[in-house]
Amino acid sequence: MRAVDLAFPPSQTKRALLMALAALATLAAVWIVQGLGYAPCELCFAERYAFYAGAPLAGLAAFLASRSAHGPARALIALIGLIFLANAALAFYHVGVEEHWWPGPTACTGALNGSIDVNNLMKSLNSERVVSCDVVQLRVLGLSLAGWDAVMSAALAVYAALAARLEK
């Protein structure tokens, strides 16, 4: 069996299930990393939405394809591709924030605007733990987790685009 046959099985149902499995595996990985004590920032949480949406949509596409509703399944697979393309862009933006190529959102990069009441600031510091979006907490093989998210999201977007072109 060739690698192409493994990556692109002849069944649309199996291709959709592979996408669901990849999305669920990615979520499992980030939950494990979080369980090990690496707290996600606001951008990290936002980047998870694509996987939360992509996994059930891929499951639905697999169900539709198994019922010979190939047109709607292909449309869902194309939608999944667009979702992951947008997420790849968001993850790349996050990498840029981490590498200080551009500023990030003020909610998670620590920028302060206006006057500050010291008492309110102390209460806030004691009650909330804000994880900065512009600090890399963990690198794996040289890439930050946002970098790996960009890679995975781009790979899923390309896979979905190719899979959507196949009729069955």
* pLDDT one digit per residue (tens) for the chain, 168 residues: 666 666 677 788 999 999 999 999 999 999 999 999 998 899 999 999 999 999 999 999 999 999 998 899 999 999 999 999 999 999 999 999 999 999 888 767 655 555 666 676 566 656 556 678 888 888 889 999 999 999 999 999 999 999 988 766
Residue 158 phi, psi dihedral angles, 5° rounding: -65, -45
Question: Which three-class secondary structure state does DSSP give residue 114?
Answer: coil
**Distance between CA atoms of residues 64 and 57, nearest Å:** 10
pTM (predicted TM-score):
0.83
**Distance between CA atoms of residues 130 and 35, nearest Å:** 17
**Distance between CA atoms of residues 69 and 131, nearest Å:** 44
Which tokens belong to 131? 């994880």
Contact 162, 8 (CB under 8 A): yes
